[in-house]
């Protein structure tokens, strides 16, 4: 499973063959209003990002129309800063079934300085199933089943499921 957070097109290749060419990422760069401005310290900003992440919820709908509420992992998968691009601090969170990420949430503190910074978020699908994302109990993103899309949508959309080669056990080669 692959997802793109890129605002520009990508061309992912295996050898000379283009296997995935997302035109853009998932739900990208949404301003987050109503949040306390980013704190000056990294530790406090991490606490703020966790608090912001808890405002989101994700539902997964199975083919049998059963609904599963995904669980937010409290520890970010990745933490970063890109001050040259105006990102003071950021974290990548995952909503999971068991330990399998089904939705990624990217939260960033952006601005020239902590005093002038605000928050933004982006979402990236990591499941082929039907999903709905809520922020403060308001649905903000709804995704249909990936396998119901056209081949072109699958090749150029922000999410891709790929099977590469055949895997064998040792001794079966």
pLDDT digits (tens, 9 = 90+) for 151-164: 888 889 999 987 66
Select from 110, 111, 124 the least CA-distant residue to 56. Answer: 124
Angle (nearest 5°) at CA 34 between 32 and 35 = 75
Q: Which range among 20-24, 81-85, 167-171 shows the weakest confidence by mean pLDDT?
A: 167-171
Tokens coding 111: 């601005």
SS3 label, residue 2: strand
> Could you tell me the residue ranges of all domains in the chain?
2-14+21-160
Global pTM value: 0.89
d(CA 163, CA 60): 23
49 close to 38: Cβ distance less than 8 angstroms: no
């Amino acid at each position: 499973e692959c997802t793109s957070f890129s605002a520009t097109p990508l061309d992912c290749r295996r050898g000379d063959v283009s296997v995935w060419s997302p035109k853009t990422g998932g739900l990208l760069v949404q301003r987050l209003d109503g949040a306390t401005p980013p704190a000056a310290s990294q530790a406090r900003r991490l606490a703020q990002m966790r608090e912001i992440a808890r405002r989101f919820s994700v539902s997964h709908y199975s083919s049998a129309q059963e609904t599963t509420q995904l669980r937010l992992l409290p520890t970010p998968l990745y933490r970063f800063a890109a001050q040259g691009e105006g990102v003071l601090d950021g974290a990548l969170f995952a909503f999971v079934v068991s330990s399998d990420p089904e939705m990624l949430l990217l939260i960033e503190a952006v601005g020239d300085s902590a005093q002038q910074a605000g928050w933004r978020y982006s979402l990236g699908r990591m499941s082929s199933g039907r999903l709905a994302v809520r922020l403060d109990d308001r649905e903000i993103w709804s995704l249909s089943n990936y396998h119901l899309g056209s081949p072109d949508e699958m090749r150029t959309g922000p999410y891709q499921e790929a099977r590469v080669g055949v895997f064998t056990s040792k001794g079966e080669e």
